[in-house]
Structure 1
Amino acid sequence: MLYSGTRTLVYRGIRLCDQKPIAIKVLRNEYPSFSELLNFRNQYTIAKNLNLPGIIQTYSVEAYQNGYALIVEDFGGISLNAIYDL
């Protein structure tokens, strides 16, 4: 696991279709509310349309359990929690 927050979890993986490294962000709540699902989808929609240098590329949003998984580029970074041992 790369990150564990109050609302989300982030994992590292490899995309099978092209072997690219990815980060997978999922909702922590096993049964997310409609509002949580809507916010997660909106996050994907906004990020997908940001084609700017320095912004990670968003690949897709997938159905996962009772919610979604956001699939984004993994550039190999580490969390600030790991750097500062928070």
Structure 2
Amino acid sequence: MVSTLVSIPGYSIREQLYNGSRTLVYRAVRERDSLPVVIKLLKNPYPTFSELLLFHNQYTIGKNLNSPLIIQT
């Protein structure tokens, strides 16, 4: 397990996959059913409208991709 300051109730953080200028990405496990997940978080606690829009657009694009190589949102 990774030592991290991130704590999300119901999830166990396993490792940090990415640390960018605007986002953090973690590999985790959902505790209720042991489902492996990837969690993407904005670094800015008070994101601008543009940051929120970009984050939402990335989610929408990921949601519409259908590949066994891509984790479903």
TM-score (norm 2): 0.67
Q: Specify the code of the residue in structure 1 equivalent to 2:26.
A: Y
Q: CA deviation at 1:17?
A: 4.2
Q: CA deviation at 1:58?
A: 2.5
Unaligned runs of 5+ in 1: 60-86
- State the SS of the aligned residue for 1:39: helix
TM-score (norm 1): 0.58
Percent identity between matched residues is 60
| Aligned structure 1 segments of 4 or more residues deviating by more than 4 angstroms | none
Task: Judge conservation of contact 1:14–1:22 (CA < 8 Å) in 2.
Answer: yes
How many residues are treated as equivalent by the alignment? 58
Matched, 1:58 2:67: no
TM alignment of 1:7-26, pairs within 5 A: 7-26=22-41
CA-atom RMSD, angstroms? 1.5
Quote the Cα distance in structure 2 between the aligned partners of 1:31 and 1:25: 16
- State the SS of the aligned residue for 2:41: strand
Task: Judge conservation of contact 1:44–1:58 (CA < 8 Å) in 2.
Answer: no
Higher relative contact order (CA 8 A, sep 6+): 1
